[in-house]
Structure 1
Amino acid sequence: MHRTHSTQPALVFIHGFLDGAQIWEDVTRHLGHRAAGALCIDLPGMGARADEPGPFSLDRFAADVTTQVRALSLPVVLVGHSMGAQIAELVAQRLVQQVRGLVLMTPVPLRGAGLPNEAMSAFHAIGGNPAAQRELRRNVSVNLDDARLERLGQLGDRVAASAVGIFADLWNAGHPSGAEPSRYRGPVLIVRGDGDSFVNFAMISSGVMPRFKAPSIASIERAGHWPHIEQPAAVARVVESFLANIEHAPNGAQLQDTPVASQGWTRAFEQKSADAFADAFALNVVLEASVLAKPAIGIEQVKAVMTTASKIYEALSFTHEAHNGLRDYLEWEVQAFGGERMRGVTVLTKNAAGKIVHVAIHHRPLGGALKFSAELGRRLQGKVDASLFYPGA
């Protein structure tokens, strides 16, 4: 194993239900040198350790990972997918001083998914049934071609049929500590696939986000439950951005107060819904932006622009916030147009009732802002006054 630079935490990847360490290969390839020395773990009973016997529990998995991470004797960032996100949080609670950040990818809440028995029967039925396992995976993905689906399927085929239902019940029932706010108070990034019908936004917003002090959120376009397989380049970019924020903290301090808290504005971007934006706005809201030639005025016009803008983004991460009276200042990073990155600052002014009355959005660089404006105009043609937008080249 190659050691990372002394100021950089090592990456530790924890897979989910029926998967294995090799599912991270595409993401680590896109991360390049930043993934040098990464630890990709196979959990007992899965992956290369599929022959290991039970009994199995979330605590056993967490203890196993904790032992491996402690042996690194390095600061780490834990990346956990689905059930692996539950395990990552348990490890972070055990190794608080060693863990610099937590990335929860399409995370099952630590308290469990709480699915009823009839829903769980489908997960129990895939044990020893390769065709059913692949069909279930396809149903909760968006961009799995046959080759990638088969890669995942072969991992699931290794798992003992008798263990499949046990593993499913573990993530569904969750862990007792999931009933309380997380004891891990460091920086957290939640990554979701915008087409994930299993760990959907409702599950994340009710069962995951409230557990943490101020999690950042990134949504991956054209991805379902396996964004690291379906869109590995996009996932690598949001992870890299999260790492950069951690590594730029003075003296290696944890950024406990910098990620953006859940609020109406960020939730609206997650849901990409006109109704969600409407809930955040006052009727007389005004939007000024570097992507607009003149202000958009009134709730109908503003929510149309913002809802459409949210759907252009392939990934969005709110990275920092500040507050001054009735004003909120949000820094963000986005990807659009096949991975093109833009950054900016949004200033939200609220009235006494907490509704947003003025929005000022500053994109950079200029080229990206102009391209974004032209795309907004194209998508809103006939719906919003065309003079708001810069014409395309």
Structure 2
Amino acid sequence: MRSLQIPVPGGSLHALRFGGGGRLAVAAHGITASAMSFRAVARHLPDDWSLIAVDLRGRGASADLPGPYGMDAHAADLAAVAEHLGAPVALVGQSMGAYAALRAAVRTPHLFDRLVLVDGGLPLPTPAEFDADKLLELTIGPAVARLRETYPSVDAYVDFFRAHPALSGAWNDDLDAYVRYDAVGEPGAIRSRTSAEAVYADGRDLLVHAASFGADLLALTLAATLLHAPRGMFGQEPGLLPQPVVDHWAAMAPQLTAELVADTNHYTILMADRPAALIADRLTTPA
């Protein structure tokens, strides 16, 4: 694993390169996550592949890269990464990263040769009439509250995650490395490096402009695979993408193929070995 700095509007986007192979895949993470969330997937890639996992602006070592945020901005950053690396490349995104990856694939299809969406990318169901700020507080508020907390040590921060209901039964070295990568600050005041401002802006974009992602799915020209989990962000059923929503878009979008990954939740679908190996296979095997 080594660090890369890739020029984008406003500065440099940080990325982690896993592997030394010449065939390249670019990865985009979730709304409060980082490049390190793809560590398990990278380990399962064939030897002739490398995974370039980005820290999206406002997260990880790109935490100080300024806005604007939103899926248009993240998609433009992913396009810049692909151009910098030498397109076309494979593209994968998880959770919020799936929406950014979808938009990048639609706006700049010549830069990518395949697309894998992991538990994201479909329009999120919202009430017919809703207050965006109230819904945002219900959905994103708990995550933002965690970003503002401080912890006495990195180990205490790890222990907080280890107790999470979606993670406690599946804890592994990849999750441990992911949490430690996110931790910054002095002893006694350890915190996440993710920007709360970025999370709010991106969460609002996902909710207010949900219909635009349906339009993106219909406009896809690349073959896309959606891998989705039966359980959600707290390890409960249904998943973030309920089966009726998946079935609807799999029928509507000609380029989309959907696959349920059994016995996973929103996090373990990416950071547990069995599903990570499946993601690596779908990413490196032509559709």
What TM-score comes out, normalization by structure 2 length? 0.69
Task: Check whether the contact 1:45–1:52 (CA below 8 A) recurs between aligned residues.
Answer: yes
Is residue 12–residue 77 contact of structure 1 (8 Å, CA) maintained in 2?
yes
* Cα deviation, residue 205, structure 1: 1.4
In structure 2, C-alpha distance between the alignment counterparts of 1:45 and 1:118, rounded to whole Å: 19
CA distance in 2 between counterparts of 1:229 and 1:186 reads: 22
- Pair 1:25 & 2:25 matched: no
Question: Contact 1:124 / 1:168 at 8 angstroms: preserved in 2?
Answer: no
Q: Which runs of 5+ in 1 are unaligned?
A: 247-393
User: Cα distance, 1:63 vs. partner?
Assistant: 0.8
> Structure 1 residues 118, 26: closer, same or farther in 2, change over 3 A?
closer
The aligned counterpart of 1:286 is none
What percentage of residue pairs aligned between the two structures are identical? 20
Aligned residues: 240
Residue 107 of structure 2 is aligned to residue 66 of structure 1 = no
SS at match of 1:178: helix
Give the residue type in structure 2 aligned to 1:145.
Answer: W
Corresponding residue of 1:225 = 266
Cα offsets for 1:34-58 (capped at 9, x unmatched): 433x221111110111122333221
Match of 1:54 in 2: 67
Matches of residues 98-137 of structure 1 in structure 2 within 5 Å? Answer: 98-109=111-122, 111-112=123-124, 114=126, 116-117=135-136, 119-120=138-139, 121-129=141-149
Alignment correspondent of 1:235:
276
Q: 1:187 deviation in Å? A: 1.4
Q: Is the 8 A contact 2:26 2:91 kept in 1?
A: yes
Distance 1:69-1:208 versus aligned 2 partners, 3 A rule: farther
Larger radius of gyration: 1
| CA displacement 1:87-132 (0-9 Å, x = unmatched) | 00111012213322110001142x4453835622334433312689
SS of 2:259's equivalent in the other structure is strand
Q: CA deviation at 1:18?
A: 1.2
- The answer on 1:80 being equivalent to 2:93 is yes
Deviation, structure 1 residue 136: 11
SS of match in other structure, 1:40: strand
What's 1:164 paired with? 199
Structure 1 match to 2:229: 193
Q: What is residue 45 of structure 1 aligned with on the other side?
A: 58
> Which whole-Å CA distance do the structure 1 matches of 2:66 and 2:59 have between them?
10
- Mapped contact 1:195–1:221 kept (Cα < 8 A): no
Q: Which runs of 5+ in 2 are unaligned?
A: 1-16, 128-134, 152-156, 184-191
Residue 117 of structure 2 aligns to a residue whose secondary structure is strand
| C-alpha separation in 2, matches of 1:46 and 1:100 | 26
Q: TM-score, normalised by structure 1?
A: 0.52
Task: Give the Cα separation in 2 of the matches to 1:207 and 1:89.
Answer: 17
One-letter amino acid matched to 2:267: W
Contact 1:12 1:76 in 2 (8 A): yes
Deviates more, 1:61-70 or 1:91-100: 91-100
> Which residue of structure 1 lines up, in the alignment, with residue 11 of structure 2?
none
Cα deviation, residue 178, structure 1: 1.9
Q: For residues 147 and 248 of structure 2, what CA distance do their matches in structure 1 show?
A: 27
Any conservation in 1 of the 2:225–2:256 contact (CA below 8 Å)?
yes
**Higher relative contact order by CA 8 Å / sep ≥ 6: 1 or 2?**
2
Q: Is the CA contact 1:222–1:231 (under 8 Å) kept in the aligned structure 2?
A: no
Change (3 A) 1:98 1:46: same
| Other-structure match for 1:35 | 49
* C-alpha distance in structure 2 between counterparts of 1:130 and 1:108, whole Å: 32
Q: Which contiguous aligned blocks of 4+ residues in structure 1 show a shift greater than 6 angstroms? A: none
Tell me the SS of whatever aligns to 1:33.
Answer: coil
* Bigger shift: residues 87-96 or 218-227: 218-227
Contact kept, 8 Å, 1:81 with 1:105, in 2: the verdict is yes
